[in-house]
Amino acid sequence: MLKRALLGACSLAILSSCLHKKYETPIAKTTQQPDKILFDSAMHDIERGRYEVARISLQTLMNTYESSEYLAKAKLAIADSWFREGGSNGLGQAEAEYKDFQLFYPQMEESAQAQDRICDIHYKQMDKSDRDIIQTLRAETECKDLITQYPNSKFVPGATQKLREVQESLAAHEFVVGDFYHGRQMNPAAANRLNALVDQYPLYSGAGDALYEAGDSYSKMGPRFRKQAGEMFARIVRDYPGSPRVKDATKRLQDMELPVPTPTQAALERAKFEQENFKKLSMTKKAMNFVKSSPDLSHASHSGEPTMTDPKKTMPASIPIVNPVAESAAPGTDGAPAPTKSDVTVDPKAETTLGTGLEKKVPDAGPQPLPTNRDKEIEAMKVKQKKLQDKAAKKNKKKQPETTAPATTTPAPAAAAPASTAAPQQ
């Protein structure tokens, strides 16, 4: 029995030695992974505003643990620390870090977040509409990139609203310039600027005012631009029924004996939606707008698709078109070039006498000259020159008797001189 007991014990010992036991370390029970410790410590520092200390911890994590699962999060956290620190230097460093993150991790979901933060960087630095618009243009570009590059991201709705507000500021900047031209009677420049403004930014809250001033400028450029003026007034009534300029535009159309259009259903629904969602600023915020450097975006649209194309270069309507490309014109049978359409016309009544260089004048005035931006200044200069000429003519009339009196006495000495010289010669 004793031998059997010893044999059983030995067999159990041998069997137990063949089994794999779980390796347990006391350190694993009480601590976490070292890269996670560094990451959590950095997050704690960022939450308490210790940005420099947090960046040192994150940089240590990235340099020490190259295969860590927290590597991408650490790189994004460094950019976030600069973003939270703020200031021109901090925001510039944050943008560089976000761009670097997108370069290394373009397929991660956080890339859309990085692009959204880049849009915020320039959005927060926008100046008022009558000042420098560099940051506003950068914000527009970055928000467009977010919408086009990450169309399925959760950040797209917020970026779309930011883009509406950014384009509100850009449109207000263009309106300041166009309104200046309109006030100085530079009608071709004002009409061109304000018309292009509404074409590029149709969601602008002041589109009705821009179109009205554009139509007024066209109407002052002569009967040749009556059609363009009517189109501007008609667009106000048809596309912007909520504008305060609708009554004025309707009256101008009636005075011009042009039909008054009916507002579209889409325009009426949009105007109603904007009126319901408009939040009036309090007296405190209105007072703070004089101190703030950022633009007032309270009137920005909350519906509609913002413009995703770059603005096109436009030309004032008063500039004549010379030899443009012919539209659906076939060349002549004799191989001559096809006739081209041109705004430069020749008066058929004007006759020229060849060989003498003399031009025969026609009693009719012929086609009216095209308007320029300096019509008012040229008229003022002509009036000023005429006044100066009249003043000089009056001065000459006063001095004329004094100059004619000595002229009658001068011939006497001239006649006596030859007589006195002739005597010695004899």
State in Å, rounded, how far the first CA of the chain is from the last one.
192
Q: What does the alpha-carbon distance between residue 315 and residue 320 come to, in Å, rounded to a whole number? A: 10
In a domain, 235, yes or no: yes
pLDDT bracket for residue 420 (50, 70, 90): very low
In a domain, 216, yes or no: yes
In a domain, 185, yes or no: yes
Q: What is the pLDDT of residues 108-150, one digit of tens each?
A: 989 999 999 999 999 999 998 888 899 999 999 999 999 999 9
For residue 137, which of 125, 148, 149 has the smallest C-alpha distance? 125
Q: What does the alpha-carbon distance between residue 426 and residue 209 come to, in Å, rounded to a whole number? A: 98
In a domain, 77, yes or no: no
In a domain, 156, yes or no: no
Structure tokens at 56: 């040192």
Q: Give the chain's largest Cα–Cα span.
A: 192
Q: How many separate domains does the chain show?
A: 1
Q: Which position has the higher pLDDT, 14 or 227?
A: 227
Q: What is the pLDDT of residue 4?
A: 66
CA atoms within a 13 Å half-sphere pointing along the CA-CB vector of 125: 23
Q: What does the alpha-carbon distance between residue 294 and residue 133 come to, in Å, rounded to a whole number? A: 11
pLDDT higher than threshold 80 for residue 355: no
In a domain, 229, yes or no: yes
How far, CA to CA in Å, does 285 sit from each of 198, 235, 297? 28, 33, 12
Which residues of 353-413 form beta strands (DSSP E)?
359-360
In a domain, 86, yes or no: no
Structure tokens at 322: 């010379």
Burial class (CB in 10 A: 0-12, 13-18, 19+), 221: buried
Mean pLDDT of the chain: 80
How far, CA to CA in Å, does 405 sit from each of 171, 264, 313? 71, 84, 68
- Mean pLDDT, to the nearest integer, of 260-272? 91
Q: Which position has the higher pLDDT, 173 or 369?
A: 173
Q: Residue 204's domain is classified under what CATH number?
A: 1.25.40
- Whether pTM > 0.85 for this model: the answer is no
Q: Which position has the higher pLDDT, 364 or 174?
A: 174
Q: What is the pLDDT of residues 378-393, one digit of tens each?
A: 778 888 888 888 888 8
Range of the domain at 232: 164-308
In a domain, 78, yes or no: no
